[in-house]
Structure 1
Amino acid sequence: MKVFLAILALAVASAAAFEEKVFVKDLPKATKMEGRITNGYAAPEGKAPYTVGLGFSGGWWCGGSIIGNTWVLTAEHCIGDAASVIVYFGATWRTNAQYTHTVGNGDFIKHSNADIALIRIPHVDFWHMVNKVELPSYNDRYNDYNEWWAVACGWGGTYDGSPFPDWLQCVDIQIVHNEECNWAYGSVGDNVICTRTVDGKSICGGDSGGPLVTHDGNKLVGVSNFVSTNGCQSGAPAGFQRVTYHLDWIRDHTGISY
């Protein structure tokens, strides 16, 4: 029986019928540069000013989203057992940030039952290179965003097994109904939102915790979580935490709501 490296156990009749999931943080990396991003693009400066890089003390890299002057939203599996994180603000070139802040784990807030987390940061002022992304409103909490187009950005691998790129990459991908994701993985749960992988367009290793933002309205609807163990470009959907599912949790800890 296959072991599923994911935030939820899959209750299925035959595990062999489904893809295995793996946190995008934990995908293997190549030892040398061998190619280019598949159908993504290098982000122009200011393209996604809400995107931050997270360099954790354990030596791993993730992404996150600024949702308020003192808050970043990311994935719980990114935080792990790290003692601290360096937050890179306004960086198009990965470690050449407008500025950085180091935050200790006393300012990490992990969700107890889902792969989502908050980092309390020192107050940051907003401008065109460093800015927040809005959450969906409570009026949209039951919107599944099925077939909506969205953009995911990060410094994760540009192809299966690649090292991290230096320049921020973005990819335009389409959200799918959870039923389509279930065909690949089994029941992923209502707290997950998935995107279709067409022509290899997907998140990849190092993109964990990063944003999925709608083209229409520029709302943060997903936090990068997992892809198939068969690879980012395998054709299987990519999985994100569904932000609308966690609006109450976010509000209770940050006071942020719309």
Structure 2
Amino acid sequence: MSTGQPVLRVPTGDSYDEETRGDRHQQSCWSNVEGASTRSGCDMNTSTNQSNIITIMKFQVLLLQFILATSSTLMASAEAEGSFRYGDSEDDGNTRIIGGSQTQNGRYSYAVSLQDSLGHFCGGSLIAKDVVLTAAHCQGGSYNVVIGRHDLGSNSGESIPVKKEIPHPKYNDRTTDSDWNIVILSRPTTENVDLIQINSSGNSPSTGQDVTVMGWGDTIAADDAQKLSDVLMAVDVNVISNSDCDDSSGTINGWSDSYKGQITNNMLCAADRGQDCCQGDSGGPLVIRGNSASNDVQVGVVSWGIGCASANFPGVYARVSEAYDWIKQTVCSESSDPPAALCGGGNNNNPPSPSPPSPSPPSPSPPSPTPNSGNWRTILNEDFTNGYGSFKSGGQGARHYGSSKSRQGVIRIQNGKGSRSSFYSKDATLDGSYSKFKVTFSFYALGMENNDSFCLDYSTNGGSSWKGVDCWSGPNDYQNKIWYDDTVVTFSDNRASELSVRFRCQGNSNQDDVLFDKVKVEGQ
């Protein structure tokens, strides 16, 4: 686990169930890095050889990532004792420590796992017997909330279907501002678990204060690997001021980026050298620890960030005190078993009004194109191992998984709801010398019927409008349940000064899925 970004799948391996596939979506996931019907005449070529991938990882939605640095002998010994810690690791000559440890069973019993048919994708916290607080960017589709299950590889606890979701009315999916979501369960839990208290004080936590974040997120701080934790992990981080957080900037794998103008009053930042949260931790709680679970106070919700345990970029959380009145009103009116601590005379102090959503951040500067075979130059190259990376979710029909169908790092698009069933790359600024472009990708169709297809579009104006490149429909262009590696399509545009590409599903149900394992864009 680490402390910054979201969306994952438990445990690693192939556990996609075609018979029980859900209607899950994917939102912004934290990237792990140091420091987006008819076929046209475009070229399409398939091969079973995979290309070498240069991972360009950068922001977005949804966190806890650790690297095991102890030896296998020490690790085995520690596991025999019931716990272990992550230590130091060498990465390209630079020491990177993503610290954390297994939690004691029951210590954070209010921590819950949100799971669809592919497994764990976000965390949350139990604030009433039938109410969960999580991140708004985790919302969408059909899923269950798993309560009282310390080890997700076990069958302990219970799994309860979701009755409805209530995202904060001011949630902005472009800026990830007001990233709170209340989930109402179909019934109260019968598990003997604690409820987490909700912070109502705008003065807490204070700058420099130790806070704890937890989840079942990624445990390997490497760009080319991902391993999700079956056991709940926790790590301590330090609160930093919003102004210092907003000043954060740095270069990650050739991308210059900063938090400037993106940190609002609705956000809370925390970091500690080498400790952070990552994929799969989104929606999980950030707490001030008391002497027991019932005395813990939740101050944040894992929201977003750039990198995992990056020296330049802290983890960003949705500040709970800013939404206290809304949380209290919603829980007390919607819960069938409202908690007395919150609804029977809890703190009614009005927190400051949330700030309006901040403007969308400027597009990052892309890395310098690198020479390739012939005169093709790489514009972007993404394998989704650590989240969306250089891409973004288009909406509730898109989702990232840590592993699926024997592949590590997969984006799934579903149904046919326009941009909501798509994912797209962040704008890449071009130097004006490009007139032809090549997109190479790997895909896997599932449940796609004769009238279903998926399409590739591109934009040269920041996504204001899109131009179609090609569409593929089965069974003429592909068969279901087969990975098609290194599929190639080319298109021309003589006037492009910036470029974004988009993959869009054109199905007609939540059983129509297309999975992507990698995307590479080149120009000449």
TM-score of the superposed pair, with normalisation by structure 2:
0.40
In the alignment, is residue 145 of structure 1 matched against residue 206 of structure 2?
yes
For residue 100 of structure 1, what is the aligned residue in structure 2?
Answer: 159
For residue 123 of structure 1, what is the aligned residue in structure 2?
Answer: 188
For residue 208 of structure 1, what is the aligned residue in structure 2?
Answer: 282
Kindly tell me: are residues 41 and 147 of structure 1, through their superposed partners in 2, closer, same or farther at Cα, counting changes over 3 Å? same
Which SS does the other structure have where 1:203 is aligned? coil
Shift of 1:57: 5.3
In the alignment, is residue 156 of structure 1 matched against residue 194 of structure 2?
no
Kindly tell me: are residues 141 and 234 of structure 1, through their superposed partners in 2, closer, same or farther at Cα, counting changes over 3 Å? closer
Distance 2:143 2:243 in 1: 36
Shift of 1:163: 2.3
Deviations 1:3-47 (A, max 9, x none): xx97xxxxxxxxxxxx9641237x9x9xxxx84643200111012
* Matching residue's letter, 1:175: V
Kindly tell me: are residues 241 and 86 of structure 1, through their superposed partners in 2, closer, same or farther at Cα, counting changes over 3 Å? same
For residue 110 of structure 1, what is the aligned residue in structure 2?
Answer: 167
Kindly tell me: are residues 246 and 166 of structure 1, through their superposed partners in 2, closer, same or farther at Cα, counting changes over 3 Å? same
Match 2:302 to one of 224, 228, 247? 224
In the alignment, is residue 78 of structure 1 matched against residue 135 of structure 2?
no
Match 1:192 to one of 251, 255, 267? 267
Give the conservation status (yes or no) of the 8 Å contact 2:205–2:299: no
For residue 328 of structure 2, what is the aligned residue in structure 1?
Answer: 251
Which SS does the other structure have where 1:72 is aligned? strand
Q: Which runs of 4+ in 1 moved over 6 A?
A: none
Distance 2:167 2:305 in 1: 21
87-96 vs 50-59, which deviates more?
Answer: 50-59
Shift of 1:125: 4.2
Shift of 1:215: 2.5
* Matching residue's letter, 1:158: T
Which SS does the other structure have where 1:77 is aligned? helix
For residue 146 of structure 2, what is the aligned residue in structure 1?
Answer: 88
Match 2:60 to one of 19, 22, 38? 22
In the alignment, is residue 167 of structure 1 matched against residue 204 of structure 2?
no
Give the conservation status (yes or no) of the 8 Å contact 1:85–1:102: yes
Which SS does the other structure have where 2:112 is aligned? strand
Distance 2:58 2:278 in 1: 15
Kindly tell me: are residues 60 and 165 of structure 1, through their superposed partners in 2, closer, same or farther at Cα, counting changes over 3 Å? closer
Match 1:56 to one of 97, 116, 123? 116
Distance 2:220 2:245 in 1: 21
Distance 1:221 1:20 in 2: 26
Distance 1:221 1:52 in 2: 16
Deviations 1:179-200 (A, max 9, x none): 12101111310000010231x2
Unaligned 5+ runs, structure 1:
7-18
Which SS does the other structure have where 1:179 is aligned? helix
Give the conservation status (yes or no) of the 8 Å contact 2:157–2:191: no
Distance 1:126 1:60 in 2: 19
* Matching residue's letter, 1:134: Q
- Rg (Cα) greater in structure: 2
CA RMSD, Structure 1 to Structure 2 (Å): 2.7
For residue 238 of structure 1, what is the aligned residue in structure 2?
Answer: 315
Give the conservation status (yes or no) of the 8 Å contact 1:116–1:241: yes
For residue 9 of structure 1, what is the aligned residue in structure 2?
Answer: none
Higher share in helix: 1
Shift of 1:222: 0.3
Distance 1:194 1:239 in 2: 5
Give the conservation status (yes or no) of the 8 Å contact 2:213–2:277: yes
Distance 2:134 2:153 in 1: 18
In the alignment, is residue 132 of structure 1 matched against residue 195 of structure 2?
yes
Percent of matched pairs sharing the same residue: 28
* Matching residue's letter, 1:150: V
Which SS does the other structure have where 1:124 is aligned? coil
Which SS does the other structure have where 2:270 is aligned? strand
Give the conservation status (yes or no) of the 8 Å contact 1:89–1:98: yes
* Matching residue's letter, 1:242: R
Give the conservation status (yes or no) of the 8 Å contact 1:50–1:65: yes
Distance 1:46 1:60 in 2: 19
Kindly tell me: are residues 149 and 35 of structure 1, through their superposed partners in 2, closer, same or farther at Cα, counting changes over 3 Å? closer
* Matching residue's letter, 1:220: Q
* Matching residue's letter, 2:305: V
